[in-house]
Amino acid sequence: MSRCSPPTFACRLLEAVLPTPYREAILGDLIEEYRLRTESTSRLTASRWFWSQTCRSVLSMVWSSLRSRDCLISISTAMGVYIVMKIFEHAAELAISKWVAPQPTTYVVLAPVVFLTSSAIGGCVAARIRRGATKFLALMVMITVAVLIDLKVCTIPVPWWYEFGFLTLGPIAVIIAPTLFGRLKQQEAVT
């Protein structure tokens, strides 16, 4: 963090949460005010003010989005995509265990591939329907995996990092896949 730059994590949080139309304006306003406050007070006071504004602004925007029903539409989209994603995942796992790899050890190797593929496809579909839905979809995947780990549904003995991989890589695949796909499409359009 340089002398005049605001807390990086707070900026990233705002970039992730704020709605697109006002994201640039709000961040710009906060950065401008932060610099003025750094000059008139101290960097610590200015950072504290920046964090307080970040937390309160995120809450205000979430509440406003809930009131305007934008959030509810995104949650519904995420839920719909999630159901389709799980059906696809279940069908693929069934096919693998029946025809491709009936042995439990091969299944352990192939399960993450199916899970990450369905998460990435789900993320792309959700982003195509509604951009904001990917965050909720990632959250749903995270909650489901956490519940499954807690219930210990996996009967085959696996190391801790195997389950932890599902918990972290699943939501990341949901969010990153549409971004990568979008960049690839942009590059294709340029060339």
Partner 1 sequence: MKRGELLGSLEHIILLALVRQDGNAHGMIVRREIEERTGRNLSIGAVYATLERLEAKGYVSSFTGDPTPERGGRAKRIFHVEAAGKRALEVSEQTIRSMTTGLKGRWRTI
Residues found near partner 1 in the complex (CB under 8 A)? 5, 18, 21-22, 24-33, 35, 52-53, 56-61, 63-64
Are 54 and 10 spatial neighbours (Cβ–Cβ below 8 Å)? yes
**Sequence-ordered strand ranges (E) for the chain:** none
Instruction: Tell me how far, at minimum, the Cβ of 24 lies from partner 1, in Å.
Output: 5
CA neighbours within 13 Å on the CB side: how many for 35? 8
Residue 183 corresponds to which tokens in the numbers above? 């960049």
Instruction: Tell me how far, at minimum, the Cβ of 8 lies from partner 1, in Å.
Output: 11
Instruction: Tell me how far, at minimum, the Cβ of 72 lies from partner 1, in Å.
Output: 16
Closer Cβ to partner 1, 65 or 119, answer by number:
65
Region of 85 please: left (phi>0), alpha (psi -120 to 50) or beta.
alpha
Closer Cβ to partner 1, 86 or 131, answer by number:
131
Closer Cβ to partner 1, 38 or 77, answer by number:
38
Distances (CA, A) of 134 to 87, 103, 185: 18, 34, 18
Instruction: Tell me how far, at minimum, the Cβ of 6 lies from partner 1, in Å.
Output: 8
Closer Cβ to partner 1, 28 or 102, answer by number:
28
